Structure 1
Amino acid sequence: MLQLFINIFLKMFLLLTPFFVVSAFLSLTKDMSKSERQRIAIKVTFAIILACFVLFLFGSYLFSVLGITLDAFRIGAGAILFLSAVSLVQGKEAVSAQEPKEYIAVVPLAIPITVGPGTIGALLVMGAGLKTVPEKITASLGLLCAVIAVGALLIAAGRLESILGQQGLTILTKLTGLFLSAIAAQIFFTGLVSFIN
Structure 2
Amino acid sequence: MTELLPLFVNIFLKIFIILTPFFVLSAFLSLTKDESQSDRQKIARKVTLAVVVICFTLFLFGSYIFSLFGITLDAFRIGAGAILFLSAVSMIQGKAAVSAQAGKEDIAVVPLAIPITVGPGTIGALLVMGANYNNLTEKVIASAALLCAVLAVGGLLFVAGRLEKIIGQQGLTILTKLTGLFVSALAAQIFFTGLKNFLSL
- TM interval, shorter chain, is over 0.9
Q: Give 1:92's aligned residue.
A: 95
Letter in 2 for 1:167: Q
Matched, 1:75 2:95: no
- Residue 78 of structure 2 aligns to a residue whose secondary structure is helix
Shift of 1:93: 4.1
Q: Give 2:26's aligned residue.
A: 23
Aligned length: 197
* Equivalence map 1:36-55=2 (5 Å): 36-55=39-58
With structure 2 as the length reference, what TM-score do the two structures score? 0.97
Q: Give 1:191's aligned residue.
A: 194
Q: Is the 8 A contact 1:29 1:101 kept in 2?
A: no
Among candidates 175, 178, 181, match of residue 178 of structure 1:
181
Q: Distance in 1 between matches of 2:105 and 2:144?
A: 30
Q: Deviations over 1:111-160 (max 9, x none)?
A: 00000000000000000010111110000000000000000000010011
Among the aligned pairs, what percent are the same residue?
A: 75
Q: CA RMSD in A?
A: 0.7
Query: 4+ residue runs of structure 1 moved beyond 3 angstroms?
Result: none
Q: Give the gaps of 5 or more residues in structure 1.
A: none
Q: Give the gaps of 5 or more residues in structure 2.
A: none
Q: Distance in 1 between matches of 2:35 and 2:68?
A: 44
Shift of 1:103: 1.5
Letter in 1 for 2:108: A
Matched, 1:9 2:41: no
* Equivalence map 1:135-150=2 (5 Å): 135-150=138-153
